[in-house]
Structure 1
């Protein structure tokens, strides 16, 4: 792989657009990363340093150009208890192990399993993340009094904050209708910042959250005892962080694919996320993954290639080393306004338009994933629940499709022609379709339009065979596929398989690259 300007702009994007999109994205990253670091009880500089490392590595070698990764809130939620109970050094080791796990998942090409996530789950995931981003911005409408108690803004402070947010959103919305020469988000931040700084308006700024002045991350081995006890402490966190990070990253990749009508590489991105987290852990950083909010900022600013991510990472480094004084003066209202527009763009409004046309089970799954994502902020749990409920719903619907048609041939043999899959969900209905007591001495069960899917189906066939055997009758199976015959091999002489007529089943799409 050769890293040249052509590599970073391989999607034939405009270099100017990439640079401006990267700068805009970096500005949107700062308050989010600082907030997530504080949530995880670590220094804001650790969060920004982690965002720099993760954004840079994934932009260079990631599987989805245009996607922005950084120190994400979904991972920050997981590590809170580890930091509080064990300290940040254990966190650094957990992050490095998280990266190793993600690299292994990518090398084993397990990223392809993201294809098993149903569309209602994707809708719920995206809508839940939009809710999380929205709720995170509401924190900027709060302040602390002299005693440290938290209160909502009131009076002129609230009016100024709300007015500046509204102005930012208006610029982001209307400017593209006049010109697309520069990203509207960047213009909005510049205009509102000039208005606040030049006009001396008193409103919350980035520096009110925390100072971002400092240096770049350096190599740092976690200072923890090398023992099995240490591994037992950090490994569970590493696994959870790895799964949460890859879940958000791969689903964000899917969303970006749909928005840009291009295709990313899931397994390559798994490896890239892993390498980024290894680098973050070994430079004293927190874990991260793809950030859908900042990715939307980048895409809406016309960032499509790798260069925009590299510029965003470089800008973060520049902010810390030389530009902290200016960045800390930026009004939070401008960044909140940009993120509110991201919420509007991220939310799948189409899911509401088709709500009445969706099956009730899909509506339930979408709402379940949205609520679990928004309330718990545990993306892996939300997606897992959505997939499980979708699978159970699918199994239930298919279980109702099992049916059998029967007739007697000229020789007095009764034929049962089975339709629909025979699996754990349909075995009970399957067993009720046979009249063992009144059937003739020989019965043939035809699987031309069915197949044996699992161990429950195999067990049901054995039990049915035994019922006929106890009645002094013979049950023969016909038109079984090769994989079904393999499952039924131990049924012995009671099973007749017509090899010449058995269809050969193959799985289409086996060569899909991931």
Structure 2
């Protein structure tokens, strides 16, 4: 008996509502406030750094973290998810801004939000889990390499023109500018060493924030000639912008659709991956479609206030959990604290050296790369998974993230179909002596093991060619065929038709419900030649004996009497 479908309204119900229904007291609020403050301290420098790496101004990152972060927690399907700008979007955002300007990015983000909401209403949240891990690992590691490469100029204070957009052109340009390493390198590398040191020996201390504060104080106090947020961007505003609808035309919608689909894909994948990580740490279960809906609303709202794409952030979510978060309120408070920082301390952000933010992003890139998993996969994974991993990784770096995802998913599907087709076995009674017992002369028996889909149909068409003396009755044991698609059914139809031309009958034994439904739907039994269905092999052999004892039996084009159906 199939399980009762869950109503869509329940699938889309925010975890915040569930939490409040269970009861929410002062102790939970206190725990969530501490966790929210802790995450806000981590997110503050990160949001600015990610915005700058994306080719825009630091305030865009803060606005995104405040607006989208609040909505992702308030409406999401996870109790402890933290949302905001993430490194996964950096490459896409840079590309969209370079090609279509910031207005194009805003519209693409708005479109992505609508796509995510539609995906939630269509219940596509469960389908994200079918994206192969080598694809996710490959493009994530590729993005990490690109982010790292984009920070070398600021980290080392290189005096050079515009950094080349293409990855393969960046490193030669850095090499040619190696003699221009400036004082900023001391600040950037010092901040990097401080972050790594605190992470190793004092992991509870917010290394990012400490590095930003100390690096800013050192650069200001010593009067170091380093580029800062103030010198490059003029500081950040002390208020949130008012919502503005972007200019929408059909031409822009068509042009930006590929970018919007990529943003929606990344937002969906990363948010649900983050939610799965959170489930593993908390023992809870998230609602994937509610999470997609929240991502859609959050990205739509972020676009309306001129923000960046947003999604669930794994590192900040883990920090939230380890800080004692109990409910989505912690994520909402994290956004509120960020807003308070923005309103009260925006003037101080002007003194933050870009070299320090580059150090922050170098650490983010290393964390994103998940180098341990990447190298482990290269050592131990099947060769097909290694090919998939390296292909996605290489395409992400050398060509384009969108191309990498498309090729990666397509290649994964082809490899999966190949593996599935290889798993389908067609064996005759000679290969399995137990099947030959009781088989009458003039009959041949073949057993099919595995799902019959278009990737494996060729094996089925080879069956009749392997029967040698053209048996008058061909028995197919289909008890181990759980699934049959249209191509597999067509292959069966072709086999039956070819048998009919030889004056032979086909008996199908033990056909399961789904394959039987497909065959009946195609009318195979009545219009495609002489075929009989029996409940099991014993009855199929008995039916074969009956047909052979009748001599010519039913005419090749007729409809024979049915066995057990």
Q: TM-score range by the shorter chain?
A: 0.7 to 0.9
Moved more, 257-266 or 166-175: 257-266
Superimposed CA distance per residue, residues 255-312 of structure 1 (whole angstroms, 9 cap, x where no aligned partner): 4445665443321111111111222233344433334565566667776753553344
Does 1:123 pair with 2:141? no
Q: Which residue of 2 aligns with 1:222?
A: 246
Task: Indicate if the aligned counterparts of 1:445 and 1:477 stay in contact, CA closer than 8 A.
Answer: yes
Does 1:282 pair with 2:304? yes
Tell me how far apart the structure 2 counterparts of residues 467 and 272 of structure 1 sit (CA, whole Å): 55
Taking the TM superposition and a 5 Å limit, the aligned residue runs for 1:183-202 are 183-202=206-225
TM-score normalised by length of structure 1: 0.81
Task: Indicate if the aligned counterparts of 2:156 and 2:355 stay in contact, CA closer than 8 A.
Answer: no
Taking the TM superposition and a 5 Å limit, the aligned residue runs for 1:387-466 are 387-401=409-423, 402-406=425-429, 407=436, 409-412=438-441, 413-434=443-464, 435-436=466-467, 438-466=469-497
1:427, CA displacement in angstroms?
2.2
- Select 1:485's aligned residue among 511, 516, 540: 516
Superimposed CA distance per residue, residues 51-91 of structure 1 (whole angstroms, 9 cap, x where no aligned partner): 42112211222233444433456556556676667665565
- Select 2:49's aligned residue among 28, 31, 36: 31
- Select 1:349's aligned residue among 329, 349, 372: 372
Tell me how far apart the structure 2 counterparts of residues 14 and 222 of structure 1 sit (CA, whole Å): 35
Superimposed CA distance per residue, residues 492-512 of structure 1 (whole angstroms, 9 cap, x where no aligned partner): 24222235899xxxxxxxxxx
Tell me how far apart the structure 2 counterparts of residues 122 and 280 of structure 1 sit (CA, whole Å): 25
Tell me how far apart the structure 2 counterparts of residues 65 and 80 of structure 1 sit (CA, whole Å): 31
Q: Which residue of 2 aligns with 1:95?
A: 109
Task: Give the number of equivalent residue pairs.
Answer: 491
SS in 1 for 2:508: strand
Superimposed CA distance per residue, residues 463-497 of structure 1 (whole angstroms, 9 cap, x where no aligned partner): 11122111111112111112111221211242222
Tell me how far apart the structure 2 counterparts of residues 133 and 236 of structure 1 sit (CA, whole Å): 22
Higher RCO (Cα < 8 Å, 6 or more apart) = 1
Superimposed CA distance per residue, residues 407-445 of structure 1 (whole angstroms, 9 cap, x where no aligned partner): 373533322222233222222233323334513311211
Tell me how far apart the structure 1 counterparts of residues 488 and 290 of structure 2 sit (CA, whole Å): 38
SS in 2 for 1:372: helix
Tell me how far apart the structure 1 counterparts of residues 313 and 399 of structure 2 sit (CA, whole Å): 17
Does 1:154 pair with 2:181? yes
TM-score normalised by length of structure 2: 0.75
Moved more, 240-249 or 71-80: 71-80
Tell me how far apart the structure 1 counterparts of residues 282 and 399 of structure 2 sit (CA, whole Å): 30
Q: Which residue of 2 aligns with 1:165?
A: 192
Task: Indicate how the Cα distance of structure 1 residues 27 and 50 shifts in structure 2: closer, same or farther if over 3 A, else same.
Answer: same
Task: Indicate if the aligned counterparts of 1:122 and 1:251 stay in contact, CA closer than 8 A.
Answer: no
1:220, CA displacement in angstroms?
1.7
Computed over aligned residues only, the root mean square deviation of the Cα atoms, in angstroms, reads: 3.7
Tell me how far apart the structure 2 counterparts of residues 458 and 305 of structure 1 sit (CA, whole Å): 50
- Select 1:368's aligned residue among 383, 391, 409: 391
1:374, CA displacement in angstroms?
4.1
Moved more, 288-297 or 50-59: 288-297
Tell me how far apart the structure 2 counterparts of residues 480 and 350 of structure 1 sit (CA, whole Å): 43
SS in 1 for 2:476: strand
Tell me how far apart the structure 1 counterparts of residues 222 and 93 of structure 2 sit (CA, whole Å): 41
Task: Indicate how the Cα distance of structure 1 residues 287 and 167 shifts in structure 2: closer, same or farther if over 3 A, else same.
Answer: closer
Uncovered stretches (5+) of structure 1, i.e. residues with no partner: 503-514
Superimposed CA distance per residue, residues 437-465 of structure 1 (whole angstroms, 9 cap, x where no aligned partner): 51331121110122452222112111111
Does 1:22 pair with 2:40? yes
1:37, CA displacement in angstroms?
4.5
Tell me how far apart the structure 1 counterparts of residues 132 and 301 of structure 2 sit (CA, whole Å): 33
SS in 1 for 2:532: coil
Uncovered stretches (5+) of structure 2, i.e. residues with no partner: 1-15, 164-172, 430-435, 539-565
SS in 2 for 1:496: strand
